[in-house]
Amino acid sequence: MSKAAAISGNNSKALAWNIWTRAGLDVLNALTHVPSWMRLSHEIQPGHQVADDFIGVNIATSNETACDDEVIRYLDDLAIRYVRMDYSYCSPRGDAQRLLNRVLEHGCDVMLDLFAPVQEAKVLGTDKQAQQRWREFLLQVFSEYSSSISVFEIGNTPNRGKWSGFDGVSYLRAWNIAAEVAESFELKLAGPNISDFEPLYNFAYLKAMKRTHSVPNIHTDNLFVERVIQPEAYDHRVAGKRATRKLNLNLVKKARIINRLGKTLGCDKTFCTYKCWSRKRLSRWTTDPEQKNANYLSRYLFIAAASGALDRVYWGPLICNRDGLVDCGDENYPHIDNVSFYKEVRGNVANFKTTKGYDAFKYIASLLRGVSCKQGVTADNGLNHFVFENAQGKSLHAIWCLDGYSLLLNSLYSQQDLDRASINTVYGQHSNQAPVKITEQPLILQWDSAPDCMSVEQISRSEYVVRYEVLEDKSSDLQQVKVENHFWRGMVAVPKQADVEQEIAKMMPASLTAAQELIVLRDTRNRLWNVSLDGNDNIHTVKLNRAKGIKKFSYRFLDSKGKRHWDNATEMLRRGVNTPQPSAYFERPDNSGIRENYYVCQFISNAFSARDVFAAFNAGELTYRGIIKEDMFDLMAAFIANMHSHNIVHRDLSSGNLMMTLDGAELQFYVIDIGRAAIDKVTTIQPKHRFVDLKRICYKLAWDDRALFINAYNRCLNEPLPSSWKLSLKSYDWKLSCKRALKAKIKKLKGKI
């Protein structure tokens, strides 16, 4: 090694050491600002004017020029002219540059995100040749596009080194070179493009930039809220669940912290440069991920616009199978996440298909241009209510509830105001008649002159928001009705065209106990029986829950079993996990957990249980109702694995609690006795949670068949269960053996007394 190279290497190490030392001091400095950040309000403050350029979108193309045409067509249809593109070393003279030139010619306002490839980014901090390649790339792009590009963003998710290749040293080196090259041009620079809410990174990078007098004009961050799922939710991952309501870090407060941080260090504006929800992930919680995506997209945009803390939100990507406004038709996903490098569009143009999110984005974007926020509330009771006014003086109200909540619309507005309102869905579809209830899908109401409106305090204190709405089914056409009197409270699922009072009276406990009993299924601690309400075509299963023994104490701190069954059933159905359709639940107004309570569901005729199937196999049969053993295990295991993939653990999945019906060649599964089910109790289902169900369902099987069943379950997973699965099942066998022996001894002692 030459002396010059050695000196250069030592200088690079010294520089890196200096940067890391200063970064550490900057983080400590940032911690001193945390108290002032936490004092920022998480509530909407009225009076903010939403700019016409508030909404943009991320775009890319494929090697087909026809894809460029589609991108332009979608932008025109959406009436969006603010676009953002990722641009790296592979982009010049390639597909990306072809699209870039096309959208510029079309009159689009472009924010161009420039960054080095992953392997180059990794060494930018110390490698002189890599630094020179980065400098030449910037000089080439700035020379060609400085007069036509609105903003140049530098870097891609530097706090996600696995995706971008950057660390603190390499990113700051990339930024300083970019700032130096940009001095020869009249440019607007943006950065540092932090992913998600990690303000210590924002502070450390901006502080380092300020020391070199190169603070970006625009502060950029990808303000994702996907980790808390719903756009309105408070983030529990920052400091744990116990601190969630102390910090109140919802989207509004996060945006304000990022904005305050940028303004304090000299940035003029704050942009959210990438936001989306993955439909693949949403499928864990719903049977219609497209609808859920459209709901969340709309809710996010309304909140972000009302927050007053973001100058622009770029939605993205425009085209992608997993999370695009347009489905490209190709289920593959790039190795580097699109949020870090939206490099290209996959799939064939002929297979492109707009999603429900596309339609919602188009309508909501048109509503939010140039409006002012007059009032906004995201209440803890689940109700969200926003009031905007457009340039023509029209009043626009956006209303929705959190997932699973509902509220009667006439509890907010008089019938006179509803009659003169223009009512639309998130897709802009007009409704001639006001819906009965507000649900998780935003409802848009417009008036030429503002109606009387409840105050923020009144909305926040509303006691009429109801948790857990029955999933409306086209075949049953059910709506939920709340019941509350001196003796009982609960819910009843009523057909929409039926007489509500009559249907409720039919389901009340007095009517259930007086109805014709068809069969008593169980009558020990709890009583379970079938009743006929309107003849044999309307059979329901009724469960009377009675707390005995130690449970009279422990259940005092829980919801009643009837309510737990109802809550779990409605949420399972929302996620596409079958259980008999809930019809009603009733509990006492006081001491509901320990007093008698009822749960009613529709009876499934011609059903059989896994216990029946296993008994046949244990007797030597190789098929059951024409289905061979291996296929039966595959279908059962797939149902259970799907339930787990939706973050549901049954916790009492004995073979008698897994029911089936056979319609022709199609096997349909249902889980019953779901009062103990754990839904979203953990972030990710681990093997130990899976074994809670697997050891119970396998208990009645011979060991050879248990192995077949576990292998069938493993085929449904990306990562098979640990090879020690037998130990978990054997420990459960031993536990039940001890339990039986203990019960036998107690029974014997009682007989002697």
Residue type, 410: N
- For residue 331, the SS3 value is coil
Give 269's strand partners. Answer: 218
Looking at residue 536, its pLDDT comes to 61
The CA–CA distances, whole Å, from 245 to 161, 234, 237, 250 equal 31, 7, 12, 10
Residue type, 747: K
Looking at residue 1, its pLDDT comes to 37
Q: What is the pLDDT of residues 566-608, one digit of tens each?
A: 999 999 998 889 999 999 999 998 888 889 999 999 999 899 9
- pLDDT category, 508, cuts 50, 70, 90? very high
Enumerate residues 6+ apart whose C-beta is below 8 A from 620: none
Share of the chain above pLDDT 70, in %: 95
What's the whole-number mean pLDDT along residues 54-75?
97
Q: Considering the chain, what is the average pLDDT of its residues? A: 90
Rounded-to-integer distance, Cα 516 and Cα 534, Å: 10
Is the previous residue joined to 317 through a cis bond, with omega within 30 degrees of 0?
Answer: yes
Enumerate residues 6+ apart whose C-beta is below 8 A from 218: 151, 153, 188, 189, 190, 267, 268, 269, 270, 271, 311
Rounded-to-integer distance, Cα 422 and Cα 630, Å: 57
Nearest to 158 by CA among 132, 182, 178: 178
The pTM score is 0.85
Query: In what helix (H) or strand (E) does residue 520 lie, and over which residues does it extend?
Result: strand 516-523
CA dihedral 717→718→719→725, nearest 10 degrees, is 10
Looking at residue 185, its pLDDT comes to 94
- pLDDT category, 474, cuts 50, 70, 90? very low
Q: Looking at the predicted structure, is the pLDDT value of residue 249 above 80?
A: yes
- Per residue, the 3-state secondary structure of 268-289, as one string, reads CEEEEEEECCCHHHHCCCCCCH
Q: Looking at the predicted structure, is the pLDDT value of residue 665 above 90?
A: no
Rounded-to-integer distance, Cα 538 and Cα 517, Å: 13
What's the whole-number mean pLDDT along residues 142-164?
96
Give residue for tokens 């309510």: 563
What's the whole-number mean pLDDT along residues 24-42?
83
Do 655 and 731 touch, CB atoms closer than 8 A?
no
Looking at residue 20, its pLDDT comes to 64
Looking at residue 469, its pLDDT comes to 55
Q: Looking at the predicted structure, is the pLDDT value of residue 472 above 60?
A: no
Rounded-to-integer distance, Cα 592 and Cα 573, Å: 25
Give 423's strand partners. Answer: 431, 445
Q: Looking at the predicted structure, is the pLDDT value of residue 396 above 60?
A: yes
Q: What is the pLDDT of residues 520-557, one digit of tens each?
A: 998 888 899 999 887 667 899 999 998 887 777 878 88
Give 522's strand partners. Answer: 528
Enumerate residues 6+ apart whose C-beta is below 8 A from 452: 414, 417
Q: Looking at the predicted structure, is the pLDDT value of residue 450 above 90?
A: no
The angle that helices 725-752 and 687-697 make with each other, rounded to 10 degrees, is: 50
- pLDDT category, 718, cuts 50, 70, 90? confident
Q: Which long-range contacts (CB under 8 A, 24 or more apart) does 525-531 make?
A: 526/561, 530/603
Do 190 and 222 touch, CB atoms closer than 8 A?
no
